Amino acid sequence: MKIILSRKGFDSSAGEYPSPHLVDSGRLISFPIPEDEKVDTGVYYSDLRVNQSHTYLDLMEQLGIKKYSQGTTSVHLDPDINASVIQRKHPEWRGIFGQSSSAQSHLARKNIKVGDLFLFFGWFKDVVSTATGYRYVNGTHKHIIWGYMQVGETEYIDKAGMYDSWKLLHPHYKCRERDMNTAYVATNSLSFNDAIPGYGTFSYDETLVLTQAGQRKRSVWKLPRYFHPSMGTRMSYHEDVFSKSGKPVWQLRDDHCILQSVGRGQEFVIEGNAEVEKWAKELIQRQYP
């Protein structure tokens, strides 16, 4: 089983704001990126539900994110792994993650297949409830793992292809003008624990935080020691211990390691060490006591 750390949700270029960690409830709400302005997926931030009375757009506006208030920008809801975020009408629906272009070329080269496990992470900031609405907490930027999906099916999406009707609202099926357009469809349940769905989102837990505590740069991660390349672990885009300029990419400590993660790149494929697989499984199972 390969483990894929997949960067998804708002970032400094797509969305330009952090997604919220709602401190009072522990919810991690990953804001999906806006779709390309030439594409209309038919889904908008006002369609996505925080709860029965509030939408993602309501929350965004409280946090000072006003650029989508006109409702003219559609949403790239991908990965679509939260059953309750939008009304589902088809009983066969399950999670889907789509990829295309150079990012899909990377996944294809790494031979991502049925049984492999995506862990989705993104840029988050603590958010608290006040008398006037939700507010960001300064100085709390971090990368957090917010969801997961085990691959149950891979499907190349052809422009003229015929596909299961329940898949068609996903942006990679709805708008097919994408190079190497591919869907990864979730398993119904996990291969290593059939009592747990094959996809879902997480509630906040410290073990989900990638960013080193006290670190101002969210790209500096603290990971278990067995992630270090000297332990046989290979993480794409992070294979070398030192950069070409001689700066440390990895630093091995007594009981952990520090990684200066790259600023670009969507999927980091990890293989070569069974301890990483065990770590990923435990992250998920901890959410389903």
pLDDT tens column, 222-257:
999 999 999 999 999 999 999 888 899 999 999 999
pLDDT value for 196: 98
> Mean per-residue pLDDT for 77-99?
92
Give the mean model confidence (pLDDT) for residues 49-71: 91
Q: pLDDT band for position 39 (50/70/90)?
A: confident
AA identity, residue 156:
Y
CA atoms of 19 and 31, how far apart (whole Å): 5
- DSSP string covering 140-164, please? --EEEEEEEEEEEEEEE--TT----
Average pLDDT over all residues of the chain: 94
On the question of pLDDT at 270 being above 90, the answer is yes
Tokens in use for 226? 């067995």
CA dist 79 and 239 (Å) reads 26
Quick check: 136 and 127 in contact, CB under 8 A? yes
Those residues whose C-beta lies under 8 Å from the C-beta of residue 8, and which sit 6 or more positions away, are 30, 32, 78, 79, 120, 121, 122, 266
Q: Tens digits of per-residue pLDDT, 144-174? A: 999 999 999 999 999 989 999 999 999 999 9
For residues 98 and 182, the answer to whether their CB atoms sit within 8 Å is yes
3-class SS of residue 92: coil
Q: For residue 74, is pLDDT > 70? A: yes
**Is the pLDDT reported for residue 135 higher than 80?**
yes
Q: What whole-number distance in Å separates Cα of residue 233 and Cα of residue 151?
A: 21
Helix, strand, coil abundance in the chain, percent, nearest 5: 15, 35, 50
Q: Which two tokens stand for residue 206?
A: 């410290």
Domain boundaries, the chain: 3-285
The answer to whether 117 touches 150, Cβ cutoff 8 Å, is yes
Q: Is 90 exceeded by the pLDDT of residue 264?
A: no
d(C-alpha 235, C-alpha 273), whole Å: 10
For residues 220 and 258, the answer to whether their CB atoms sit within 8 Å is: yes
Map tokens 């009707």 to a residue. 165
Q: Is 265 exposed, middle or buried (0-12, 13-18, 19+ CB in 10 A)?
A: middle
Written as six digits, the tokens of 242 are 């030192």
Which residues have C-beta within 8 Å of that of residue 162, sequence separation ≥ 6? Answer: none
Give the ranges where 170-286 is alpha helix by DSSP (H): 171-174, 274-285
Residue 69's pLDDT is what? 84
The predicted-structure confidence for 192-219, as pLDDT tens digits, reads as follows 999 999 999 999 999 999 999 999 899 9
Selected residue with higher pLDDT from 180 and 73: 180
Digit-coded pLDDT (tens) for 16-31? 899 999 999 999 999 9
Chain centre to alpha carbon of residue 209: 13
Its pTM stands at 0.95
What integer pLDDT is reported at residue 15 of this predicted model? Answer: 67
